[in-house]
């Protein structure tokens, strides 16, 4: 059964901003779903419209079998965690966790028991008497999570819940949240603008642009087969190489070099047509000497990524990037050759992926 279904969901704010434009989306029960996209694309609006904090201009929100489009937020059975955690500064951890139960008129003793049980599960047992101001960012985040878990919600909605944590805590929290979601099996929608976070955590994800969903898929599908050049350039910690190319028989001419046609586009291209050739820097094998089918040029920049280096080659009029394992990196001024993997390279025609099916 689907937990959340959006049908033709549109939100136009007063003043005319079309933040959501006829969105359709189905999120199955138990899924960890990430909403990803650049600033202003409509992620928060989508989450708030699911929660009922914004009213849809048209279209509908269905939770399970129930159309909740015109139902108040409190009656939707959803739990939302905000970016700033929205903890009450004057309440201790126990009362913060128990707050939604108080609203639901659960008896005081039962509330306390539930808060302690959930707090213990999230490693907060020693901190139950403290106030938010006496907690670290990571601990505050756990309190916000505990508060959500204390309610029996149909789904969790998270709006950038990790963005206030420093880099190391963020990584820890990511793993923790993922494990917790697995254990609880609660449908979770997670908004982030951090694509590494979405790739790492989500079962499936949607990439949004200007009120539209451009692609829905597993992290692997979205990373390896971006459906258009917008998604291709948005996803990936090092951006995909997107190079002008001309089809020449059974190969491509890219900036004066001859490379193999991407396997996914074999038989789908016309001789002489202009396309955009896409290949991720991670899917290049790099060598100092010439190699057949490689993009060859002069090394201009070498950036240290830790266990590897990002090498930029000037190939004719194009810049091409390749990830090179540590110890094999060149220095600027060297000749270099980047051989793309034909099984991972892609072809885009008018911005859209050329592929069968």
Three-state SS at 353: strand
Task: Decide: is 344 part of the binding site for ligand ATP (CB under 6 A).
Answer: no
DSSP 230: H
- Tokens representing 194? 């951090």
Smallest gap from Cβ 41 to ligand ATP, in A, equals: 4
**DSSP letter, residue 194:** -
Taking the complex as a whole, how short is the minimal distance between the CB of residue 275 and ligand ATP, in angstroms? 30
Q: Which is nearer to ligand ATP, 78 or 269 (CB)?
A: 78
Q: Does 212 bind ligand ATP (CB under 6 A)?
A: no
Is 84 a binding residue for ligand ATP by CB under 6 A? The answer is: no
Residues 6+ away with beta carbon under 8 Å from 181: 32, 156, 188
- Looking at beta carbons only, is 37 or 52 nearer to ligand ATP? 37
Residue 214 binds to ligand ATP (criterion: CB under 6 A): no
Taking CA atoms, 25 is separated from 15, 181, 214, 237, in Å, by 26, 21, 11, 26
CB nearer to ligand ATP: pick between 55 and 136: 55
Which position among 5, 9, 44, 257 is part of the footprint of ligand ATP (CB under 6 A)? 44
Q: Which part of the chain contacts ligand ATP (CB under 6 A), choosing from 14-22, 26-34, 254-262, 271-279?
A: 14-22
CA distance 70 to 85: 26
**The dihedral of CA 19, 42, 9, 55: what is its sign?**
negative
Nearer to ligand ATP (CB atom), residue 163 or residue 224: 163
Nearer to ligand ATP among residue 193 and residue 225 (C-beta): 193
Q: Which is nearer to ligand ATP, 12 or 291 (CB)?
A: 12
The minimum distance between CB 52 and ligand ATP, in angstroms, equals 15
Structure tokens at 96: 């913060």
CA angle 64, 32, 69 (to 5 degrees): 35
Find the shortest distance in angstroms from Cβ 21 to ligand ATP. 11
Q: Give the whole-angstrom CA distance, residue 77 versus residue 148.
A: 11
Cβ atoms of 27 and 189 closer than 8 Å? yes
Binding test (CB under 6 A) with ligand ATP, winner from 4, 6, 19, 79: 19
Contact residue for ligand ATP among 6, 27, 37, 155 (CB under 6 A)? 37
Strand pairing of 66-67 and 78-81?
unpaired
Q: How far is the CB of 48 from ligand ATP (least distance, A)?
A: 8
57 is an interface residue for ligand ATP by CB under 6 A: no
Closest listed residue to residue 323, CA positions, set 342, 335, 347, 339: 339
C-alpha 158/C-alpha 216 separation (Å) is: 18
Q: Give CA torsion, residues 229, 235, 238, 241, to 10 deg.
A: -20
**By C-alpha distance, which of 247, 293, 284 is closest to 268?**
247
Question: Nearest approach, Cβ of 209 to ligand ATP (angstroms)?
Answer: 10
- The answer to the question of residue 272 lying near ligand ATP (CB under 6 A) is no
Residues 280-339 that bind ligand ATP (CB under 6 A): none
Site for ligand ATP in 142-201 (CB under 6 A): 193
Cβ-based nearer residue to ligand ATP, 14 or 267: 14
- Closest to ligand ATP by CB, 18 vs 204, is 18
53 binds ligand ATP (CB under 6 A): no
The phi and psi torsions of 218 (rounded to 5 degrees) equal -70, 160
Among 13, 303, 304, 326, binds ligand ATP (CB under 6 A): 13
Q: Which residues pair with 310 in a beta bridge?
A: 303, 323
Nearer of residues 36 and 275 to ligand ATP, judged by Cβ: 36
| 88 counts as binding ligand ATP under rule CB under 6 A | no
Interacting residue with ligand ATP among 31, 42, 115, 255 (CB under 6 A): 42
Residue keyed to tokens 């586009």: 265
Let me know the angle formed at the C-alpha of 290 by 269 and 244, rounded to the nearest 5 degrees. Answer: 30
Under the rule (CB under 6 A), what is the footprint of ligand ATP?
A: 13, 15, 17, 19, 37, 39-45, 193
């Amino acid at each position: 059964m689907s937990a959340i279904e959006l049908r033709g969901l549109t939100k136009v704010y007063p003043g005319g901003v079309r933040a959501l434009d006829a969105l359709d989306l189905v999120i199955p029960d138990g899924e960890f779903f990430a909403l990803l996209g650049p600033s202003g694309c409509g992620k928060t609006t989508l989450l708030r419209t699911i929660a009922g904090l914004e009213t849809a201009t048209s279209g509908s929100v269905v939770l399970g079998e129930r159309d909740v489009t015109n139902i108040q937020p409190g009656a939707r059975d959803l739990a939302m965690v905000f970016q700033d955690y929205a903890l009450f500064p004057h309440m201790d951890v126990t009362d913060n966790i128990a707050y939604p139960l108080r609203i639901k008129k659960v008896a005081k003793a039962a509330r306390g028991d539930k808060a302690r049980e959930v707090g213990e599960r999230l490693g907060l047992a020693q901190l139950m008497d403290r106030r938010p101001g006496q907690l670290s960012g990571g601990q505050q985040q756990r309190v916000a999570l505990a508060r959500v878990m204390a309610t029996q919600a149909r789904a969790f909605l998270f709006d950038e819940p990790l963005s206030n944590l420093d880099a190391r805590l963020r990584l820890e929290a990511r793993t923790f949240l993922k494990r917790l979601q697995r254990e609880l099996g609660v449908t979770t929608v997670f908004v982030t603008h951090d694509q590494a976070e979405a790739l790492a955590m989500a079962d499936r994800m949607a990439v949004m642009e200007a009120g539209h969903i451009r692609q829905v898929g597993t992290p692997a599908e979205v990373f390896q087969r971006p459906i258009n050049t917008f998604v291709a350039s948005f996803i990936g910690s090092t951006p995909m190489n997107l190079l002008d190319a001309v089809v020449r028989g059974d190969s491509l001419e890219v900036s004066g070099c001859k490379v193999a046609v991407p396997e996914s586009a074999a038989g789908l291209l016309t001789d002489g047509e202009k396309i955009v050739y896409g290949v991720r820097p991670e899917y290049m094998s790099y060598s100092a000497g010439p190699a057949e089918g490689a993009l060859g040029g002069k090394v201009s920049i070498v950036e240290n990524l830790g266990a590897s280096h990002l090498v930029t080659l000037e190939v004719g009029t194009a810049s091409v990037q390749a990830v090179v394992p540590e110890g094999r990196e060149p220095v600027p001024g060297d000749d270099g050759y980047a051989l793309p993997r034909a099984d991972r390279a892609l072809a885009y025609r008018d911005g859209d992926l050329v592929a069968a099916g």
